[in-house]
Amino acid sequence: MPNVKDFIRTIPDFPKPGIQFRDVTTLFNDARGFRMAVDQLLHPYAGAQIDKVAGLEARGFILGGAVAHQLGKGFVPIRKKGKLPGKTVEQAYQLEYGEAVMELHDDALQPGERVLLVDDLLATGGTAEAGIRLIEKLGAEVIACAFVIDLPDLGGRKLLEKLGVPVHALCAFEGD
């Protein structure tokens, strides 16, 4: 029986030499693989009190939207700076070379709401941490983060768990 990892393509030397890029578009392209991933992402949270699902730009929109639909909950996009119309809150985070900023509409969440944060890949955890901080700025609580892929050697899981946020990942690729 196939697992989610079987549907993920590895592209060597992208975006630069030495990087093994884990491409989830092949997972999305396969109906059975995509359904399996969505079902496995939401499974630990079926029956849990969740008010909204938030997704990180851009593949987190695809996964988070599908998870929100299956759970019967609303979806909240967390976007790169300058992409959302209206009033936003923002959070800077560190990239390998420099800094970036994520934004969330300032009325996307209400104080006390419980949020599941979804994305395709957990590497260093910087983007997910920025998402958590944005959600918390609006007074909501991140109950967990769910990812298709964890790259454990890059430390993202440890960072998020230090923040008190449980992490659920469908598969891991060591050494990346």
The CATH number for 122's domain is 3.40.50.2020
pLDDT per position as a tens digit, 90-124: 999 987 778 999 999 999 999 999 999 999 999 99
Please check the confidence at residue 175 and state whether its pLDDT lies above 90.
no
118: β partners: 55, 146
Residue of 35, 57, 59, 90 marked active site: 59
Residue 2 in any domain: the answer is no
Residue 20 in any domain: the answer is no
Residue 18 in any domain: the answer is no
Residue 38 in tokens? 């969505």
| pLDDT classification of 176: cutoffs 50, 70, 90 | low
Active site residue 35: no
Q: Which range of residues forms the domain containing residue 160? A: 49-172
Residue 96 in any domain: the answer is yes
Active site residue 9: no
pLDDT per position as a tens digit, 20-53: 999 999 999 999 999 999 999 999 999 999 999 9
Of residues 73, 149, 152, the one with CA closest to residue 116: 73
Residue 155 in any domain: the answer is yes
Residue 84 in any domain: the answer is yes
Residue 6 in any domain: the answer is no
Residue 15 in any domain: the answer is no
Q: Provide the domain count of the chain.
A: 1
Which H/E stretch holds residue 120?
A: strand 114-122
Residue of 9, 22, 79, 96 marked active site: 96
* Cα separation, 171 vs 157, whole angstroms: 13
Q: Are strands 9-12 and 52-56 parallel, antiparallel or unpaired?
A: unpaired
